[in-house]
Structure 1
């Protein structure tokens, strides 16, 4: 049985040549798009989405390469670059009738959201990032023995062939490791949701690897260009993050201040899958973000 978010309508939306996304849409009002992370699908937002749908139009897609969305061949790094995936989300909003919308992302989805905010500031009104650092900074802080927590980043950065074969040898062990190791409350991901995540990930190994490989190549180049040119996130930004700094020895809030002009940064006590472990708290944080004033170019 296919799992869905109760009360949400499902549709396929074409966002690029040969690429359509599986999208759940519910509620009415000002729009907010919610982007999932690894190794998940849009279902990770099921509780937060239901909460926000009381007074917002909530849009929950599977990212390209994940879930029931299309998985184009990885002919070059640009196919799964965060720039390309961000363009998908902008096209999705427009296809649904929204030229401007708020955007929240977790994990991989947060990297897509960050890139959307940097590339399309005229579209993204508010931005929330759950438990990541911008790509360039992530690679810069991963070092020494502490970098072992990110072993998958290095594995999937390898040339096409090796990581895909290794992961395909025991996919449920590989993807299940993260669902177990990154969750403080095992009951936050029920058995049926876990099974759906594992099935979706098994079917998407090449595209998931391609997404991660892009973050070791072209995504870093895009971030380096932004840093050198001073391109920053100019909309209201909220960051919810575990206390990575204590474990890896860096100032997460300080890193984020380098990217966002209008920043609220909170260190939270939940596990990585915070939209599932603390949905009421996450929904509250997103509502607070959406109340912050948006200043358009030329306004004071």
Structure 2
């Protein structure tokens, strides 16, 4: 299958310390790193990136182990968000960008968050879309809310149980999230959906996804807690955006949580499902433009 691409963007493979990362790059202006989430690839940004191409040099990579990018190491430690963040800082320098804005959705949002905390000299602006820091996310899950986040517990199992279960029918497993997390009809066209499901049917990607979620259960929260206890916060202009809750109220207050992490905070609540860049690309692009030109 020929993968869809981002219109008028160039596909590049960038090597950092012998690890290859597949990216789509295009546009002119200030550098902007865009990181995708689960269960997607860099094609998440296929509508947002062109809307920003007149003022930003967009770099849209596959996360390590996802899509066509190499993983950074064995086991959950290869998906330690501090390690992934450092990798992308090095990748941006390889492309000639010492300082840049970064926006991440879902899993990519966790990387963007850690990058902004650990590398404030490199990150000028940060945006996090529809995700909470790992420590806050686990603290917020209680009671029936855990039903809707069952994948967090399943994928983080320390044995190969999730890999074995998912391999039996990956299209049904990952298709469940593409279908039930989307509120805007046809936001993910058939060709893009087929691309996502093809990528996530690969055994090495399934294993990478599980190790990524293991890292978010057993590695990343300790870093967040250490930052919280030390009073470390985001020092740059920060965007936090999330989907408007439906009939069931959220079991946490995103505004309160993000206000504790960022003094220079702007927020957006968008009427769509979880896949903000695909369901409401115009609003996401506008929010990024406003953030990154502050």
Q: TM-score, normalised by structure 2?
A: 0.96
Does residue 1:117 correspond to 2:116, yes or no?
A: yes
User: Once the two structures are superposed, what CA deviation does each residue of 1:204-227 show, in whole Å capped at 9, x if it has no partner?
Assistant: 100011001100011011111111
Aligned residue in 2 for 1:147:
146
Aligned residue in 2 for 1:101:
100
User: Once the two structures are superposed, what CA deviation does each residue of 1:165-208 show, in whole Å capped at 9, x if it has no partner?
Assistant: 11111100000000000001230100000000011111210001
How many residues align? The count is 290
RMSD: 1.3
Equivalent-residue separation in structure 2 for 1:211 and 1:173 (angstroms): 20
CA-CA distance at 1:249 after TM superposition: 2.5
Q: Residues 67 and 199 of structure 2 are in contact (CA less than 8 Å); yes or no, is this contact kept in structure 1?
A: yes
- Aligned to 2:144, the other structure's residue is in SS state helix
Aligned residue in 1 for 2:231:
230
Equivalent-residue separation in structure 1 for 2:154 and 2:249 (angstroms): 21
- Aligned to 2:47, the other structure's residue is in SS state helix
Aligned residue in 2 for 1:33:
33
Q: Residues 74 and 207 of structure 1 are in contact (CA less than 8 Å); yes or no, is this contact kept in structure 2?
A: no
Aligned residue in 2 for 1:207:
208
Equivalent-residue separation in structure 1 for 2:110 and 2:61 (angstroms): 15
Does residue 1:174 correspond to 2:176, yes or no?
A: no
Equivalent-residue separation in structure 2 for 1:187 and 1:199 (angstroms): 19
Equivalent-residue separation in structure 2 for 1:145 and 1:78 (angstroms): 30
- Aligned to 1:258, the other structure's residue is in SS state helix
Aligned residue in 1 for 2:254:
252
Q: Residues 83 and 116 of structure 1 are in contact (CA less than 8 Å); yes or no, is this contact kept in structure 2?
A: yes
Does residue 1:269 correspond to 2:271, yes or no?
A: yes
| Among 282, 285, 288, the residue aligned to 1:286 | 288
User: Once the two structures are superposed, what CA deviation does each residue of 1:15-48 show, in whole Å capped at 9, x if it has no partner?
Assistant: 2x33110011101111101000000000010111
CA-CA distance at 1:242 after TM superposition: 1.8
Gapped runs of 5+ residues in structure 2? none
User: Once the two structures are superposed, what CA deviation does each residue of 1:232-264 show, in whole Å capped at 9, x if it has no partner?
Assistant: 111000111124596332211001111111101
Q: TM-score, normalised by structure 1?
A: 0.94
Counterparts of residues 162-201 of structure 1 (less than 5 Å): 162-201=161-200
Equivalent-residue separation in structure 1 for 2:57 and 2:119 (angstroms): 20
Aligned residue in 2 for 1:24:
24
Gapped runs of 5+ residues in structure 1? 293-300
Equivalent-residue separation in structure 2 for 1:151 and 1:238 (angstroms): 27
Equivalent-residue separation in structure 2 for 1:80 and 1:70 (angstroms): 11
